[in-house]
Amino acid sequence: MKSTPLLAWYRALAIATGCALLIFCGFMVAKYGFGTAKDLTMYVAMLHGYLYIGYFVVTFLLGQKLRWPLGRLVFTLAAGCIPFASFVAERRVVREAAAAQAAGAAQQPVSV
């Protein structure tokens, strides 16, 4: 696969969504465990929600472009809602995209 802006958007949104989810989990512990940060929790939740919408759209488009099977697409889409899973999914997708790009470059004939 040729390196595309879609893959760069996927990487950025996967990392941002994962970080926002971890921050949101921390705020949830603070809110329900210690009774603090009640107002901030709502804003962090909204931030994660907006980032996840972007992550969902970009991941779906990338999955369609790379022709992922349905199970893989569903896991990668759900990774934005499972703490630390978006980081694992991002590394796996980037590694496989780089391997596909290298295999595609090896198959193309050299023009003189």
pLDDT digits (tens, 9 = 90+) for 18-48: 999 999 999 999 999 999 988 999 999 999 9
The CA radius of gyration of the chain, in Å to the nearest whole number, is 17
| pLDDT > 60? residue 1 | no
What is the DSSP-derived secondary structure letter of residue 103? H
| Residue 38 lies inside a defined structural domain of this protein | yes
Q: What range defines the domain where residue 36 resides?
A: 5-98
| Residue 44 lies inside a defined structural domain of this protein | yes
Cβ-Cβ contacts under 8 Å for 112 (sequence gap 6 or more): none
**What amino acid is encoded at 69 in this protein?**
P
CA 52 to chain centre: 8
pTM: 0.85
Whole-number pLDDT of residue 102: 77
Q: CA 106, CA 96: separation in Å to the nearest integer?
A: 15
Whole-number pLDDT of residue 37: 87
| Residue 28 lies inside a defined structural domain of this protein | yes
